[in-house]
Amino acid sequence: MEKEKKKDELVQLNIKETTMCDATAQMLRKAEKDGVETAFHRAATMKACPIGADSACCKHCSMGPCRLNAKDPYGKVGVCGATIDTIQARNFARMVASGAAAHTDHGMSMLDLFREVVNGHIKEYRIKDTIKLEEVCREIGIEVEGRTPEEMAMDLYHELERTYTQVEGEIPFAKRVPEKTLETWRKHGVVPRGAMREIMELMHRTHMGVDQHYENITKQCSRTALSDGWGGSMVATEISDILFGTPVPVRAEVNMGCLKEDEVNVIIHGHEPNLFESMLDSVNDPSLIQAAKDAGAKGINLVGMCCSGAEMLSRHGIPHAGNFMSTEAILITGAVDAMGVDVQCIKQGLAKVAECYGTNLFTTNPRCHIEGVEHIQFEEHAPRECTDAIVERAIVRFKNRKLPIEIPQIRNLGVHGFSHEYINYMLGGSFRSSYTPLNDNIINGRIRGVAGVVGCTNPRVKQDWVHVELVKELIKRDVLVVQTGCSQIALAKAGLYTPEAAHLAGAGLREVCETVGMPPVLGLGSCVDNSRILIACAEMVRVGGLGESIADLPVAGAAPEWMSEKAISIGHYFVASGVYTVFGVTFPIVEGTKFHKLLFEGLADMGFGTWGFTPDPYEMARMMVAHIDAKRKALGIDKSRERVLMDMASRRDLEAA
């Protein structure tokens, strides 16, 4: 009765316009039949606050909150006198601080684990990739000759700890930054110190009555964001690779059809790989497999979601069920016996949907509890206690499944698991690993440029659609696309992660893909793995022929369906590193203000990259390609591309004749 009432109250979605993910659409139709509400329904009924969307309000003290008028931004100031530029810059800065804190805290957890593994306190994990350990040590000046992995690892730990705690001076991975880019940072005083210091200073400066010049606030935004990209996020990626293995290409499936009706289904969703790695051991434990069989299941099926899913997809080929906006939808299948979550992008709404379908939902990280959700603490010193317990509870739920199950029978096979190291090898071969072939193909015009298309999905736009349309437009124009996070999953579901998808690319990119046997879209992992894109950019500069700084490269970035503060931090570290970065959905700023002009024009004049915004994927592609072409022109390689195009035209003429 209660449920029926709810069903009547539930807003009816125009599902075709809500998502382009067929599996999610099928589940939304089921949700409406079942009277179950999701974030899509809430977004349809909760109009975004227009003042907040423009970032024209401030609640930094109790003389306010103060609301300014976006239509007349200089017509009013806050009670303290704060102008629209101060208010917007402070709000933007706090998004950067929060996003950077999320990534750097994730990186710090990985580093804590690394320390405990190296000093022998944790035996459940070990160093898997000693080659990478050696490479990272060498790059940041740690002696490697004649030393044991343990000796190098301990030095590496102490060196990387500075990424967080360093009070003065440059963080260790600043050594990876191209000299000219670093010069720009030094000139403007934005080379990051430890992330703790940068985030603390940014929070201080944005307190009421401290930094009230948008340019000065933006400077600290850049410094803090860089402490994320070249600091906390990079540490998270590198340490995870050293501990769990550097990804190499692997064929794997994505989409909700990865669930199996006759097996115990366990999903891990969140961001930190240590929980997932331990779960991988648990689901392969013979006694737990036997327990599942005793309960009538054929086995235990482990599936990932969101970013920890993307990381395990890349590293181990674990199937991935869907991105951020599918995490409630998958529970509607009724087939999920347990979902374990750790940190970031965990919707509180999961609790209600899990309850409706009898799914066991568990929080596991001390940083993330959810009211009404059972918490099983994940302890790195005894990781299996948590993950075994989740599996045991999943088995009980399987045995007692009562509700009908409906699994969308959609699976998309693709090749995932590209890393900066593998791109090196793939293009250069094992004896001459190098980015030279990539640079050569950019210089000769077969590849027009490289675009990073990353980030979330957001119920304010049709799920996956902006990602997919944008990427198709880019590859059609010979732009090689690299991806992470939820965007990677959107494209994998759309079938672009197969080498055969090269037929969707322009002639030049297609030729390169066919020669190498790679898809036109390369997935690099989770949100923190955006640092792999930074390293790739640095390597393109180092190899030569494409300018002296990252800002010279014919590259661009986009987060077409972003939603989180982490995305803003990522966007800003790419901009501060020299990359033109376009966001979709909405941008938290009033157009025409001085702060807007600084972000969208002024930063480029200072030698950084610049921000761009449009919700339209075709316009976004046009803007990114125009930027790439402008960079090609500045490098004097625009003519080579014209020649490639002329060659094709002549070929067509010949064919016609």
If contact means CB under 5 to 8 A according to the sort of partner, which of ligand MSK, ligand SF4, none does residue 564 touch? ligand MSK
Write down the least CB distance from residue 228 to ligand SF4, Å: 26
Q: At what angle do helices 130-139 and 149-165 cross, to 10 degrees?
A: 50
Q: 358 with 402: CB under 8 angstroms?
A: yes
Q: CA 541, 599, 455: angle at the middle one, nearest 5?
A: 65
Q: According to the binding rule CB under 6 A, does residue 627 interact with ligand SF4?
A: no
Q: According to the binding rule CB under 6 A, does residue 316 interact with ligand SF4?
A: no
If contact means CB under 5 to 8 A according to the sort of partner, which of ligand SF4, ligand MSK, none does residue 324 touch? ligand MSK
3-state helix, strand, coil in the chain (%, to 5): 55, 10, 35
Q: 302 with 338: CB under 8 angstroms?
A: no
Instruction: Report the alpha-carbon distance of residue 461 to residue 490 in Å, rounded.
Output: 13
Phi, psi of 427 (to 5 degrees): -85, -30
Instruction: Report the alpha-carbon distance of residue 157 to residue 125 in Å, rounded.
Output: 16
Half-sphere exposure of 305 (CA within 13 A, CB side): 33
Write down the least CB distance from residue 85 to ligand SF4, Å: 12
Instruction: Report the alpha-carbon distance of residue 427 to residue 364 in Å, rounded.
Output: 40
If contact means CB under 5 to 8 A according to the sort of partner, which of ligand SF4, ligand MSK, none does residue 527 touch? ligand MSK
If contact means CB under 5 to 8 A according to the sort of partner, which of ligand SF4, ligand MSK, none does residue 60 touch? ligand SF4
Write down the least CB distance from residue 219 to ligand SF4, Å: 20
Q: According to the binding rule CB under 6 A, does residue 59 interact with ligand SF4?
A: yes
Write down the least CB distance from residue 523 to ligand MSK, Å: 12
Amino acid at site 294? D
What does DSSP assign to residue 598? I
If contact means CB under 5 to 8 A according to the sort of partner, which of ligand SF4, ligand MSK, none does residue 171 touch? none
Closest CA to 469 of 615, 350, 608: 615
DSSP 170-191: --GGGGGS-HHHHHHHHHTT--
- Give the range of 17-25, 80-88, 257-265, 572-580 binding ligand SF4 by CB under 6 A: 80-88
Write down the least CB distance from residue 485 to ligand MSK, Å: 3
Write down the least CB distance from residue 125 to ligand MSK, Å: 22
Output 210 or 634, the one with its CB closest to ligand SF4.
210
Q: Can you tell me which of 21, 58, 217, 589 binds ligand SF4, judged by CB under 6 A?
A: 58
Q: Spell out, one character per residue from 84 to 113, where the chain touches ligand SF4: x when CB under 6 A holds, - when not.
A: ---x--------------------------
Output 15 or 80, the one with its CB closest to ligand SF4.
80
Q: Can you tell me which of 41, 60, 205, 446 binds ligand SF4, judged by CB under 6 A?
A: 60
If contact means CB under 5 to 8 A according to the sort of partner, which of ligand MSK, ligand SF4, none does residue 345 touch? ligand MSK
Write down the least CB distance from residue 564 to ligand MSK, Å: 4
- Give the range of 75-83, 368-376, 605-613, 643-651 binding ligand SF4 by CB under 6 A: 75-83
Q: According to the binding rule CB under 6 A, does residue 590 interact with ligand SF4?
A: no
Q: 124 with 278: CB under 8 angstroms?
A: yes
Amino acid at site 322? G
Output 82 or 521, the one with its CB closest to ligand SF4.
82
Closest CA to 512 of 453, 448, 468, 558: 448
If contact means CB under 5 to 8 A according to the sort of partner, which of ligand MSK, ligand SF4, none does residue 486 touch? ligand MSK
Q: According to the binding rule CB under 6 A, does residue 535 interact with ligand SF4?
A: no
For 620, other C-beta atoms within 10 Å of its C-beta total 26
- Give the range of 72-80, 214-222, 459-467, 617-625 binding ligand SF4 by CB under 6 A: 72-80
Instruction: Report the alpha-carbon distance of residue 618 to residue 631 in Å, rounded.
Output: 20
If contact means CB under 5 to 8 A according to the sort of partner, which of ligand MSK, ligand SF4, none does residue 140 touch? none
Write down the least CB distance from residue 82 to ligand SF4, Å: 4
Output 63 or 646, the one with its CB closest to ligand SF4.
63
Write down the least CB distance from residue 200 to ligand SF4, Å: 19
DSSP 388-408: HHHHHHHHHHHHT--S-----
Instruction: Report the alpha-carbon distance of residue 513 to residue 519 in Å, rounded.
Output: 6
Write down the least CB distance from residue 364 to ligand MSK, Å: 16
Q: 261 with 322: CB under 8 angstroms?
A: no
Q: 55 with 21: CB under 8 angstroms?
A: no
**Which strand (E) or helix (H) includes residue 250?**
strand 250-254
CA 49 to chain CA centroid, Å, is 26
Write down the least CB distance from residue 209 to ligand SF4, Å: 7
Output 51 or 396, the one with its CB closest to ligand SF4.
51
- Under rule CB under 6 A, which residues in 181-220 are in contact with ligand SF4? 208
- Give the range of 57-65, 320-328, 364-372, 468-476 binding ligand SF4 by CB under 6 A: 57-65
Peptide bond into 172 cis (omega under 30): no
Q: 150 with 279: CB under 8 angstroms?
A: no
Q: According to the binding rule CB under 6 A, does residue 61 interact with ligand SF4?
A: yes
**Residues that bind ligand MSK in the complex, under the rule CB under 6 A:** 271, 306-307, 323-324, 345, 455-456, 485-486, 526-527, 564, 566-567
Phi, psi of 210 (to 5 degrees): -110, -100
CA 169 to chain CA centroid, Å, is 28
Write down the least CB distance from residue 72 to ligand SF4, Å: 16
Q: According to the binding rule CB under 6 A, does residue 80 interact with ligand SF4?
A: yes
Write down the least CB distance from residue 3 to ligand MSK, Å: 30
Instruction: Report the alpha-carbon distance of residue 462 to residue 246 in Å, rounded.
Output: 34
Write down the least CB distance from residue 328 to ligand SF4, Å: 35
Output 83 or 363, the one with its CB closest to ligand SF4.
83
Instruction: Report the alpha-carbon distance of residue 324 to residue 212 in Å, rounded.
Output: 36
Cα–Cα separations (whole angstroms), residue 538 to 127, 541, 549, 573, 577: 26, 5, 8, 14, 10
Six token digits for residue 147? 């030393």
Q: Can you tell me which of 66, 391, 451, 546 binds ligand SF4, judged by CB under 6 A?
A: 66
- 460, with CB counted inside 10 A (0-12, 13-18, 19+), is middle
If contact means CB under 5 to 8 A according to the sort of partner, which of ligand MSK, ligand SF4, none does residue 66 touch? ligand SF4
Judged by DSSP in three states, 495 sits in coil
Q: Can you tell me which of 52, 65, 296, 592 binds ligand SF4, judged by CB under 6 A?
A: 65
Output 58 or 283, the one with its CB closest to ligand SF4.
58
Cα–Cα separations (whole angstroms), residue 101 to 113, 232, 401, 516: 18, 8, 40, 39
Q: Can you tell me which of 64, 349, 495, 615 binds ligand SF4, judged by CB under 6 A?
A: 64
Q: Can you tell me which of 11, 63, 210, 649 binds ligand SF4, judged by CB under 6 A?
A: 63
Residue ranges binding ligand SF4 (CB under 6 A): 58-61, 63-66, 78-80, 82, 87, 208
